[in-house]
Amino acid sequence: MAEKTVVLYPSLGVGHLNPMAQLAKALLRRGGVSVTIAVVDPPEKDAVLAAALARLAAASPAITVRLLPIPPSSRAPSKSYSHPIMPILDALRAASPALREFLRSHAPAVDALVVDMFCTDALDVAAELAIPAYIFYPSAAGDLAVYLQVPDLRRAAPSSLKDMGKAPLEFAGVPPVRAHDMPDTMQDWESDVCQVRLQQLARMPEATGILVNSFEWLESRALKALREGHCLPGHSTPKIYCVGPLVDGGRTEENGERHACLGWLDRQPKQSVVFLCFGSMGAFSAAQLKETARGLERSGHRFLWTVRSSRRERSNSLEPDLEALLPDGFLERTKDRGFVLKNWAPQTEVLRHEAVAAFVTHCGWNSALEAIMSGVPMICWPLYAEQRLNKVHMVEEMKVGVVVEGYDEELVMADEVEIKVRLVMESEEEKKLRERMATAKEMAADAIKKGGSSDVELGEFLRGLGNIST
């Protein structure tokens, strides 16, 4: 079979670039394919994205990265946007001409365009150039099952979700979802961000296929509902390829030096540390940080905690003032069993360390998959985007974690933090969770090894490119 050419088109943001980069690496490992990642290059340079692209280029020179510039005039001042995702969607839309020019310069050599779930405008570009277009869905299959059913929910719902509170919503393939656990972009049917998201979701069935960053064992019920057409009754469902878990392999060294927190973990007993980390945008109020600290202290367990400046203070200082943010004397009292980091931790390496016993997470899907591949039970504390929806799947369907009560209130109280830490560290529930996670870790490894379920599906995707007439 002649070598195939696949172009990957991620959304803006490292959380979307990273899994797409892992997909590129997985495709290259199979051989017989060349891969280019076309990345939108907005006028306002993103240092985090630039650093991620530099790491990708250094680690994977076989992957071609092409920047797609967009004109400065394409974006209005950010203060005019009603939701943080709107400028991203505008930038993606403005990048379509650059994407078209890039693809046209390579036509007819491009065998497939694989676009992020937020890049549905690129479906028009692919259709115009007669290039088969696929969607890469970087989150849970359960999320995809729900999202494909949202346009029908919109037509049937008596009111906006924000008015339905904790009312359960029934979707094929997943447990009931309380209305307020749906993403904030979908809470108000009449909002501009919801209107755009509904349009995007309605277009997803136009794709030739959808590649999902999950694996068969973990989400068999959602995948069955998707493949049998229960999520799009009366419509044709694109071919579903389950190709995960696709996660970063991690870097144990940064600038030639191992992170200090890993050395601290080396000195802790096996499975004795609770790791708290909430993603690149996970910031809490000063009051919440203090409650969390009190709960950790009362639990009596060892902890490694990544702390960011409170939401109110983030604009004033990039470096959090731990003495001011945490209770008086907390750092001194817990210095023998706690390690507090500012802003960032080498999450992949930490989760893989034998000293780590539990992970307090915001339920971002990349983080959830990293924990599953490391066999670490989770304490689920969702914050934004689709994280509340992920929490439903993780706790009720996959049974890989427990939920922090009060995540949807003003404060999670110290008592709740203490209760959940003790639950996953010293109770009968802890034993069940640990056994479940050990199985999940084994099944995740099986899925991506040669001949595993996800490896086979990725092969089917590539073989399918030879059978599609353009």
380 near 260, Cβ under 8 Å? no
Reported as a single tens digit per residue, the pLDDT across 225-277 is: 999 999 999 899 999 999 999 998 766 455 568 999 999 999 999 999 999 99
> What's the pTM value of the predicted model, to 2 decimals?
0.94
CB 286 within 8 A of CB 316: no
Distance in angstroms (rounded) separating the CA atoms of residues 362 and 296: 17
Q: Retrieve residue 223's tokens.
A: 């995948």
Closest CA to 187 of 204, 172, 202, 169: 169
The pLDDT tens digits along the chain (470 residues) read 578 999 999 999 888 999 999 999 999 999 899 999 999 998 776 777 888 888 888 888 899 999 999 887 554 554 578 888 999 999 999 999 999 999 999 878 899 999 999 999 999 999 999 999 999 999 999 999 999 999 999 999 889 999 999 999 999 999 999 999 999 999 999 999 999 999 999 999 999 999 999 999 999 999 999 999 999 998 999 999 999 999 987 664 555 689 999 999 999 999 999 999 998 788 899 999 999 999 999 999 999 999 987 655 444 447 889 999 999 999 999 999 999 999 899 999 999 999 999 999 999 999 999 999 999 999 999 999 899 999 999 999 999 999 999 999 999 999 999 999 999 999 988 899 999 999 999 999 999 999 999 999 999 999 999 754 43
For 204-230, give one letter per residue: b (16+ CB within 10 A) or e: bbebbbbbbbbbbbbbebbbbbbeeeb
CA distance 463 to 458: 9
Query: Between β-strands 378-380 and 112-116, what pairing exists: parallel, antiparallel or unpaired?
Result: unpaired
Handedness of CA 224, 226, 232, 236 (dihedral sign): negative
State residue 379 phi and psi, 5-degree precision. Answer: -105, 115
Four-point Cα dihedral 148, 153, 159, 164, nearest 10: -80
Task: Estimate to the nearest angstrom the gap between the alpha carbon of 363 and the chain centroid.
Answer: 8
Roughly what angle, to the nearest 10 degrees, separates helices 14-30 and 47-59? Answer: 10
Strand residue runs (E) in 193-320? 209-212, 239-242, 253-254, 257-258, 273-277, 302-307
Which residues in 92-161 belong to E strands, given as ranges?
112-116, 133-137
Length of the chain in terms of residues written? 470
Please state, in angstroms and rounded to a whole number, the distance separating the CA atoms of residues 382 and 333: 29
Q: Is the peptide bond before 108 cis (omega within 30 degrees of 0)?
A: yes
Query: 19: Cβ–Cβ under 8 A, 6 or more apart, which residues?
Result: 136, 138, 213, 246, 247, 366
Pick the closest to residue 213 from 241, 194, 183 (CA basis): 241
Token readout for 87 is 């400028």
Q: How far apart are CA 399 and CA 146, in angstroms?
A: 18
